[in-house]
Amino acid sequence: MVHGEAAGCCGPVETTAPISVTINPEARVNAARTGNRVASLSIGEWHTIEFPIVNTGYVTGRLVIDAEPVRSVELDLPVHELSGQPRQDGGFRVRFGVPAVVDLTLTFRALASLGGLAIHSSLHLILRSHPTTISIS
């Protein structure tokens, strides 16, 4: 018997993103860190953190990201509409108000496909900001 390549839940996800999200056929969400890091982020600028969504269950509906507020950090956590495709792009934005190192706890939830019975999945993402350099000529 010959088996094909591992997919989503059964093997690593190829990505340059710092996190990946996998949704299984029961709409259970697994959010995981990858081996890739997020570089230091500039203060006062919006930075996009992208991630792949591997949908092994071809689930449709919404993927929601929640996070507890973190002092001096603004988050833009859009709702992602799951298309049912095996892979699609996701992301969120972050902006720092002051130089800091923060631990964001992100919770990913797939809704609607099982009437809200999907399992929640959380991960920690450590982010660092640095002051922007201003040059005067």
Residue 1: pLDDT over 50: no
Mean pLDDT of the chain: 83
Task: Return the structure tokens found at 100.
Answer: 């800091």
Residue 107: Cβ-neighbour burial (10 angstroms; 0-12, 13-18, 19+): middle
pLDDT of residue 11: 53
Q: Is the pLDDT of residue 4 over 50?
A: no
C-alpha to C-alpha distance for 104 and 27, rounded to whole angstroms: 24
Separation CA 56–CA 72 (nearest Å): 37
Q: Is 93 exposed, middle or buried (0-12, 13-18, 19+ CB in 10 A)?
A: middle
Q: Among 65-74, 95-104, 127-136, name the one with the lowest average pLDDT.
A: 127-136
pLDDT of 19-75, one tens digit each? Answer: 999 998 888 899 999 989 988 899 999 999 999 999 998 999 899 999 999 999 999
